[in-house]
Amino acid sequence: MANKRDYSIGKIIFRSITAIIFIFLLLPTLIIVLSAFSPTEYATFPPQGFSLRWFTAVFTDQAWVLAIENSLKIAVVTIPIATIIGTLAAYGIYASNFHWKSGLQAFVLSPIMLPAIILGISFLYLATAFGLLGSYTIIAAGHIIVAIPYVFRSVTNVLVGLNKDIQRASMILGATPFKTFLKVVMPNIISGVFLGAVFAGITSLGEVSISLLVSSSQTVTIPVQTMNYIDQTFDPSVNAVAVIFIIIAIVLITILEKVAEKNKIDVF
Amino acid sequence: MIRKDKTNFFLILPAILFLTAFLILPLIILLLMAFRSSGNSIVIDDTLTINNFISIFKNQSFYSGILNTLKLSAIVSIVCIVLAYFPALTLVKTKGNTKTLLYVVLLSPMLTSVVIRVYSWIVILSSNGIINQSLMKLHLIKSPLSLMWNSTSLVIAFVQVLLPYAIIFISNSLTKIDNNLFRASNSLGASALYTFFHVILPLTIPGILSSFTLIFSLTAGSYITPMLIAGHQKQVMALTIYQQAMQIMNLPMAAALSVVLLLVVILTIVITNYLGRLWEVRVYGK
């Protein structure tokens, strides 16, 4: 596509708008990172110096430490369960000949389509009805429900590119469907499963719509604690927490994109 | 084949069970709650009533709330879709490390918690935020401008949070277009704009529809962003539901409002998808 048109006014306008959009997407992250290292009480731009005091503040504050612990505990439960359920469902639906295949697919994906407040409120009622309000169980269940669709999507994306002949070969050679899945299919879709697990982790660490409604003061997660903080104060330690989040996200997404590119699959 | 499908069914079973317990069951409880008489939240009697719905539809502020929600969700969806074409077209044309970098930039906002993303707009827009501080230091303004607590800032925050979804859907649609079509259109002398409106746009209708469906639903259902950015200045339904449940403690009313919101969202999505199909049929014939 490299022809003379590349330098026309139209192209210049197009590229400028694209650049502005990328800056728009990046700007908040950038500003958060800069103000997290700011030595002053109020986030300033440009920063007045460099300081790690807000990071120290986070790790010495009881409330933040509790929130970080809770978030990690819940993520550790969410990731394997969501990954297993999502992967099995993706393969089962992909390999089946059910008439209601696309309906099932929509069903598994529906938790991310459902307006967040509705999912949150119904979880509140579920928790109240079963006496689970404020428990780790109900928060983890909420995280798993919203993480499953991401795992399902990533795994379905790799499965679509998979050669169906190898499964047939394996079955003809006498392997049970279960053994075929474990020994033949699994090694081929492991990259998609990994992507799904990463997404499950990110979803769990960032989930707030359900957590805010069903958590108690003992089970606050990082985003819930952040909400409480923003409501009360304008404290740069929130920035420090955000930076920790952003670093984790960037590392994960770089791995994700590399894995995806190596295996020639779409991230989504 | 029957034996095989049985195995497949067992593979899907955990998902079905989990979704039944934590999606269907809660929704059923929500629906039942909507027909309970409101008032005392702790003791809810067993008689079913449609009083909640009657008082919702009698209340004037309900209509402004629903109008605000529809308007906000539609504007956010349309802005996201229009803006998404620029990065999406760039994305499909790049390869290698540049593409990885673009992806990281693009997806990094998506991978941080929505709270953090909205918080960063507070840091930028609030009265002692970055824009106001800079303008005051430059002596361009004497007192801080009121940039937060209005619908523009709400749209900005939503677009920044949801734009990546539209970019992904649109660029997925774009990669499916045969490159020869661009070349053909180009070599036949069509301008870039003509190619866009007559080749690219019609072929990305599925991407537009998926983006609209997801973004509309996510905007209409989000109570976190309005709560943090607009406070009580802009009453949207999701926020009303949250307040009914958590502050007024009127659980049946919150449930009834949720049911109404869900119906409104589903109806809007069905109508737009129907219109989209009509558009597609008009472009391609049957």
* C-beta of residue B165 within 8 angstroms of C-beta of residue B211: yes
Question: Are residues A148 and A210 both part of a single domain?
Answer: yes
Give the per-residue pLDDT at B37. 79
B171 occurs within a structural domain: yes
Question: Are residues A160 and A103 both part of a single domain?
Answer: yes
Give the per-residue pLDDT at B286. 55
Give dist(CA A117, CA B242) in Å, integer: 7
Indicate which of B1, B6, B7, B8 best probes the interface with A, i.e. most A CBs within 10 Å of its own CB: B8
Question: Are residues A89 and A178 both part of a single domain?
Answer: yes
Cα A109 vs. chain centroid, distance in angstroms?
A: 14
Helix ranges (DSSP H) in A37-185 = 53-60, 62-95, 101-113, 116-129, 136-160, 164-172, 177-180
B12 occurs within a structural domain: no
Interface contacts A/B by beta carbons within 8 Å? 282
Nearest-10 crossing angle of helices A9-36, B96-111: 50
Give dist(CA A153, CA B24) in Å, integer: 21
Of the pLDDT bands very low, low, confident and very high (cuts 50, 70, 90), residue B4 is: low
Domain count, chain A: 2
CB contact under 8 Å between A223 and B115, yes or no, is yes
Question: Are residues A101 and A47 both part of a single domain?
Answer: no
A268 occurs within a structural domain: no
Domain of A234, in residue numbers: 61-262
Question: Are residues A156 and A195 both part of a single domain?
Answer: yes
Question: Are residues A120 and A252 both part of a single domain?
Answer: yes
Q: What is the mean pLDDT of chain A?
A: 84
Q: What phi, psi does A209 have (nearest 5°)?
A: -60, -40
Domain of B173, in residue numbers: 54-114+148-284
Question: Are residues A151 and A24 both part of a single domain?
Answer: no
Of the pLDDT bands very low, low, confident and very high (cuts 50, 70, 90), residue A102 is: confident
Number of Cβ within 10 Å of residue A191's Cβ equals 20
Half-sphere exposure of B267 (CA within 13 A, CB side): 7
Q: State the CATH number of the domain containing residue B98.
A: 1.10.3720.10
* C-beta of residue B86 within 8 angstroms of C-beta of residue A17: yes
User: Which residue of chain B is at minimal alpha-carbon distance from A26?
Assistant: B105
B240 occurs within a structural domain: yes
Number of Cβ within 10 Å of residue A36's Cβ equals 24
* C-beta of residue B56 within 8 angstroms of C-beta of residue B256: yes
| pLDDT(A77) > 90 | yes
A158 occurs within a structural domain: yes
B9-34 mean pLDDT: 91
Question: Are residues A153 and A90 both part of a single domain?
Answer: yes
DSSP state of A184: I
| pLDDT(B41) > 60 | no
Of the pLDDT bands very low, low, confident and very high (cuts 50, 70, 90), residue B1 is: very low
Q: Which residue has the higher pLDDT, A8 or A138?
A: A138
- Residues of chain B in contact with residue A10, where contact means CB-CB under 8 angstroms, are 191-193
Question: Are residues A155 and A174 both part of a single domain?
Answer: yes
Q: Which residue has the higher pLDDT, A247 or B264?
A: B264
Q: What phi, psi does A105 have (nearest 5°)?
A: -60, -45
CB neighbour burial string for A218-248, b if at least 16 within 10 angstroms, e if fewer:
ebbbbbbbbbebbeeebbbbbbbbbbbbbee
User: Which residue of chain B is at minimal alpha-carbon distance from A15?
Assistant: B86
B255 occurs within a structural domain: yes
Q: What is the mean pLDDT of chain B?
A: 83
Give the per-residue pLDDT at B26. 93
Indicate which of B4, B24, B119 best probes the interface with A, i.e. most A CBs within 10 Å of its own CB: B119
Of the pLDDT bands very low, low, confident and very high (cuts 50, 70, 90), residue B44 is: low
Which residue shows structure tokens 């620029």? B86
- H or E segment and range at residue A260: helix A237-262
- Residues of chain B in contact with residue A22, where contact means CB-CB under 8 angstroms, are 87, 102, 105-106
B23 occurs within a structural domain: no
Among B218, B103, B80, B231, CA closest to B156: B80
Question: Are residues A113 and A244 both part of a single domain?
Answer: yes
Give the per-residue pLDDT at A47. 65
Which of A78-82, A203-207, B60-64, B66-70 holds the top average pLDDT? A78-82
Domain count, chain B: 1
Nearest-10 crossing angle of helices B2-19, A101-113: 20
* Dihedral sign (CA A268, B5, B9, B11): negative
Please indicate if any CB of chain A lies within 8 Å of the CB of B263: no
For the stretch B143-202, pLDDT in tens is 777 777 677 888 999 999 899 989 988 988 888 777 777 777 767 777 777 778 888 888
- Residues of chain A in contact with residue B262, where contact means CB-CB under 8 angstroms, are 114-115, 118
Which residue shows structure tokens 């400028």? A16
CB contact under 8 Å between A245 and B5, yes or no, is no
Q: State the CATH number of the domain containing residue A258.
A: 1.10.3720.10
A221-244 mean pLDDT: 81
| pLDDT(A2) > 70 | no
Please indicate if any CB of chain A lies within 8 Å of the CB of B238: yes
Q: Which residue has the higher pLDDT, B100 or B174?
A: B174
A245-259 mean pLDDT: 74
* C-beta of residue A90 within 8 angstroms of C-beta of residue A156: yes
Please indicate if any CB of chain A lies within 8 Å of the CB of B86: yes
In Å, how far is A90's CA from the nearest CA of chain B?
Answer: 8
Q: Which residue has the higher pLDDT, B40 or B173?
A: B173
- Which 3-state string (H, E, C) describes chain B? CHHHHHHHHHHHHHHHHHHHHHHHHHHHHHHHHHCECCCCCCCCCCCECCHHHHHHHHCHHHHHHHHHHHHHHHHHHHHHHHHHHHHHHHHHHCCHHHHHHHHHHHHHHHHCCHHHHHHHHHHHHCCCCHHHHHHHHCCCCCCCCCCCCCHHHHHHHHHHHHHHHHHHHHHHHHHCCCHHHHHHHHHCCCCHHHHHHHHHHHHCHHHHHHHHHHHHHHHHHCCHHHHHHCCCCCCCHHHHHHHHHHCCCCHHHHHHHHHHHHHHHHHHHHHHHHHHHHHHHHHHCC
User: Which residue of chain A is at minimal alpha-carbon distance from B113?
Assistant: A206
Q: Provide the residue type at B246 as one letter.
A: M
| pLDDT(A59) > 90 | no
Going from the C-alpha of B246 to that of each of A4, B71, B99, B230, B241, the distances in angstroms are 61, 25, 44, 18, 9
Of the pLDDT bands very low, low, confident and very high (cuts 50, 70, 90), residue A137 is: very high
Cα B120 vs. chain centroid, distance in angstroms?
A: 19
Give the per-residue pLDDT at B126. 76
Which residues contact residue B123 at a Cβ distance below 8 angstroms, ignoring those fewer than 6 apart? A28, A31, A32, A35, A43, A239, B129, B130
Question: Are residues A226 and A103 both part of a single domain?
Answer: yes
Give the per-residue pLDDT at A160. 82
Q: Could you tell me the pTM of the whole model?
A: 0.86
A267 occurs within a structural domain: no
Give the per-residue pLDDT at A1. 44
Give the per-residue pLDDT at A119. 94
Q: Which residue has the higher pLDDT, A228 or B6?
A: A228
Is the reported ipTM for this assembly greater than 0.90? no
Range in A147-151, B76-80, B88-92, B104-108 the model is least confident about: B104-108
B26 occurs within a structural domain: no
For the stretch A200-222, pLDDT in tens is 988 898 899 999 999 998 999 99
Q: Give me Rg for the CA atoms of chain A.
A: 23
For the stretch B240-250, pLDDT in tens is 999 988 888 88
For the stretch A15-40, pLDDT in tens is 899 999 988 888 888 877 887 887 77
Give the per-residue pLDDT at A4. 47
Torsion angle defined by CA atoms of residues B230, B236, B242 and B244, in that order, rounded to the nearest 10 degrees: 120
A196 occurs within a structural domain: yes
